[in-house]
Structure 1
Amino acid sequence: MRWTVLDSPIGEFSVATDDDSVRGTRFGRVAGAADEPGDGFSRRAVAELRAYFAGELTEFSLPVAAPRGSDFERAVWREMTRIPYGGMLTYGEVARRVGDPGAARAVGVACNRNPVPVIVPCHRIVGAGAKLVGFGGGLDRKRFLLELEARVDFERSLLGSG
């Protein structure tokens, strides 16, 4: 596994890759992370992340290694990947979709334990009434990511390409 750090509009962002998948992402610099991607898959991962942060990519094609977590957490993470670019769901809506309507708080815990933020878009899960609550990267980063996606989605709709 190799960590690479890239500059992004939300600060340094680190991505861990192996030969054919993303293993994790972190806000900030991970100790020992390289400033330049190596050959192969890490280059692809960094390129897709840069394109996403530039508003040029709306859907990642990167395979993600099967993350460790409880059955419930993995169900929440799968549901996150189904939220379309520019979209949002509440914690309660995600809880209902994974079959446990009373588990909104547990959805929040699963979001916090998401090993691949941004690529697995936990930032698209918000509180009731679209209130910005809870985000491991901080609410400023969550706001930025949601605003980036909303702006790009709006611009694409104006151009008739979305």
Structure 2
Amino acid sequence: MKPWSRLRTDTPLGPITLAANGLGVCGLWFDGQRHGPSPAQIQSWTHTPDEPLLLQAAAQLQAYFTGQRHRFDLPLDLSHGTTFQQSVWQALLQIDSGQSQSYGDLAKHLNKPKAVRAVGAAVGRNPISIIVPCHRILGAGGQLTGYAGGVGRKEALLRLEGHPGI
């Protein structure tokens, strides 16, 4: 398998690191994000500012932040989690821009209605922030709860998407 490559890019919500391998985009983390790779781990990946997939991902992110894109069209590699985490991350991809679900709703959608905490943990470990839209998951009653990149960023992303009530 192709080694991981990385690209650092700026966004209106702060710098991010994108990562890709031979299968697709496998990471997107804000600087200082919880549950992200360590700085040493990131440094071990090849810095490839001319990697076509990473450039495509960065361009799609810029279009997203300017309101020109609502969905991403990129190959993704979500294989670096457990089977359960992968099922949660796949379910996140089905939530459209401007929409949201609660952790409980997502657990029910996965036919695991008693696994709300496990769903929350998997959402928090999403390795491809924004593109796999974990920011669209809200607490019961629509509260802005938890986001590995910070609740302020979660609120900004929902506002950018025109989420009602934000």
TM range (shorter): 0.7 to 0.9
User: How many pairs align?
Assistant: 152
1:122 equivalent in structure 2 = 134
1:23 equivalent in structure 2 = 26
Q: Mark the runs of 5 or more structure 1 residues left unpaired by the alignment.
A: 154-162
Q: 1:35 to 1:70 in 2, by over 3 A?
A: closer
> 1:14, CA displacement in angstroms?
1.2
1:97 equivalent in structure 2 = 109
Report 1 or 2 for greater relative contact order, CA contacts < 8 Å, sequence distance ≥ 6. Answer: 2
Normalized against structure 1, the TM-score is what?
0.85
Q: Mark the runs of 5 or more structure 2 residues left unpaired by the alignment.
A: 33-38
1:34-90: CA deviations, max 9, x gaps?
A: 998314222111111111112111010011013222222111111100001111000
* Contact 1:59–1:85 (Cα < 8 Å) also in 2: yes
2:91 aligned partner, one-letter code: E
2:75 aligned partner, one-letter code: P
Q: 1:35 to 1:73 in 2, by over 3 A?
A: closer
3-state DSSP class of the match of 1:74? helix
Picking from 10, 13, 24, the partner of 2:13 is 10
1:87 aligned partner, one-letter code: Q
1:26 aligned partner, one-letter code: W
Picking from 34, 56, 59, the partner of 1:47 is 59
Higher mean displacement: 85-94 or 65-74: 65-74
Measure the CA separation in 1 of the matches of 2:80 and 2:111. Answer: 20
Higher helix share: 1
**Identity value in percent:** 38
- In angstroms, what is the RMSD of aligned CA positions? 2.2
1:97 aligned partner, one-letter code: H
Normalized against structure 2, the TM-score is what?
0.83
Measure the CA separation in 1 of the matches of 2:144 and 2:69. Answer: 24
Q: 1:46 to 1:35 in 2, by over 3 A?
A: farther
1:122-158: CA deviations, max 9, x gaps?
A: 000000111000110010000000000017x9xxxxx
Q: 1:19 to 1:102 in 2, by over 3 A?
A: closer
